[in-house]
Chain A
């Protein structure tokens, strides 16, 4: 046991003395959370719009105010001709223009029928779609406030409720994603590199010729990284609660437990990679290609898995991060209990058992 502890201590010294790597390990999750939270967001917020109001009456003013007041839009300009709209679009100043025709209120009150034109910059189709949807729903809102007191025959109202994430925040999506990414990187990549480093500088040769059991060596090497990744989970959760306002709805204990399970999965992947890699670069590259990219692509955090072709959907099932991502979303965002995620947990446990089994079996007690 003493041997084991002294090995863990030694490993910790390696991490501690390599200040640059330590710095990256500690700050990477912070930077990623802040990046995804503020810079790389795909939410449509404060989009700049222009309004071409040809009617200038009570109704058009009311709609304009409603639009400008919403947090999706930022009215930057009133324009006075179609030409001007086109010019403003070309300058890239706005993403949406709202056009009210002449006699808007008149038409509305007398013919029960009025039109508003929404012109969107569809060079980014997703954003254009989202913006027109937002604008339409604001306009509908206004319409309903007008007809509040009247009984219209045969109307169907759709009532949309955004569950779990009523404000449609992107953060709900990427916090679990970043957790999966960071744990994969720290655990799998760093452990595989640190094991291969011992092979590369030749110290593995010396410690293999010692009473230490080879697999104990590997376990001892992973423990400091387990600690670092727990630290990372804590940072991410604190940041998401206090900076991004993403609350932890479910049980914190369950969330941490599942995270530790995923950490162990990642660690066994790291050991598996270190079994075959001969140099630190190979280890790093293999980790990147076989762990980092699949985590990014197949976990469902950047691209919805349901939209992928069937073969890719099948492949996504063998990516551990996908299951962890589902678990974190269920526990943290939806507040579900263990009964809802036992299947995913079981899959992760199974994967970990298989990976650990393979890496123990393949672990080389000799040099080649």
Chain B
């Protein structure tokens, strides 16, 4: 059973002078009970995609179905059954935590008590502040409250648009643990994020760039597709090193990654020798190089170049 089906969705924003292609023919599908990640940089078209799937925006062409319902024709049915948490914090800042939650519970025809078990793990953390105005919560708390509000009616599909943007590392980790617990309840979760490290926490990811999907696969599958040799290199003189590496015809790409440069070679042969030669030709202190396994970001960089 597929919870979300997207077929060749195209969306263009037109103003008087310019036309911006937000989505250029996107297709994918999400199985029931999956955590599906949409990974891509800002401006890749993630929010447009979410709005189309939550019936808030009409696509120019293409079809999309949520729980078997057409996002255009059956929009009321979809609005009755999904949960949506937009990228911007979208709760009432002047209402208290409790008031926000009971408001969203009521407009979804339910009560906090009825579905308390669903939000319990999250709500316990914000319960001490339940009389505080939502506007006075910290970023992480706000996201947890927003998630509670999106969950309170036990949606069959949950849409989370960049839920962890602007949230500290600890809260991000907690947030993802919650998503995994929700998955156990059988809720399908479509989540977008600009953070590559979160991709590994999804069952499946779609890498999206400039309105196009580069690849859809499990995180392991995406990493497995990356067959070229990858090395991490560093020295004190990072900038001359990058210049020297890029000049080598055997090198396909080289980009900074944390404290290292990641170097992708065109073929597996002689990679080590090449790097040693580069080391000899320049004057580098504390030169260090070792072969590594690609992570999602490496795959993304490679896919972007293609």
A256, CB-defined interface residue at 8 Å? no
A211, CB-defined interface residue at 8 Å? yes
Give the CA-CA distance A207 to B107 in the complex, in Å. 8
Are A366 and B57 closer than 8 Å at their CB atoms?
Answer: yes
Q: Which segment, of A5-13, A76-84, A153-161, A174-182, faces chain B?
A: A5-13
Are B92 and A367 closer than 8 Å at their CB atoms?
Answer: no
Indicate with 1 or 0, residue by residue over B103-129, a CB within 8 angstroms of chain A CB atoms. Answer: 110111100000000000000000000
Majority secondary structure, A binding face: helix
Give the Cβ gap from A249 to chain B, nearest Cβ, in Å. 44
Give the CA-CA distance A3 to B103 in the complex, in Å. 8
Give the number of residues in B that approach A within 8 Å (Cβ atoms). 33
A310, CB-defined interface residue at 8 Å? no
Interface range, A side: 20 to 34
Are B107 and A366 closer than 8 Å at their CB atoms?
Answer: no
Q: Determine the chain A residues whose CB is within 8 A of the CB of B78 once the complex forms.
A: 209
Give the CA-CA distance A94 to B206 in the complex, in Å. 85
Q: Determine the chain A residues whose CB is within 8 A of the CB of B149 once the complex forms.
A: 206
Would you list which residues of chain B between 69 and 116 have a CB under 8 Å from chain A? 75-76, 78-80, 82, 84-86, 88-95, 99, 102-104, 106-109
Are B57 and A210 closer than 8 Å at their CB atoms?
Answer: no
Give the Cβ gap from A298 to chain B, nearest Cβ, in Å. 33
Q: Which segment, of A134-142, A197-205, A236-244, A280-288, faces chain B?
A: A197-205
Q: Determine the chain B residues whose CB is within 8 A of the CB of A24 once the complex forms.
A: none
Give the CA-CA distance A368 to B93 in the complex, in Å. 24
**The residue from A10, A211, A366 contacting B103, defined by CB atoms under 8 A apart:** A10
- The verdict on A2 contacting B108 (CB below 8 Å), with A209-B56, A209-B82 known, is no
**The residue from A6, A206, A368 contacting B86, defined by CB atoms under 8 A apart:** A206
**6 A-B pairs with least C-beta separation:** A202-B90, A6-B106, A202-B88, A209-B84, A367-B56, A17-B94
Chain B residues near A (Cβ < 8 Å): 51, 54-58, 75-76, 78-80, 82, 84-86, 88-95, 99, 102-104, 106-109, 149-150
A-B contact pairs, 27 of them (CB 8 A): A3-B107, A3-B109, A6-B102, A6-B103, A6-B106, A10-B95, A13-B94, A13-B99, A18-B94, A201-B90, A201-B93, A203-B92, A205-B56, A206-B84, A206-B90, A206-B149, A209-B55, A209-B78, A210-B108, A211-B76, A211-B80, A211-B107, A211-B108, A365-B75, A366-B55, A366-B56, A368-B57
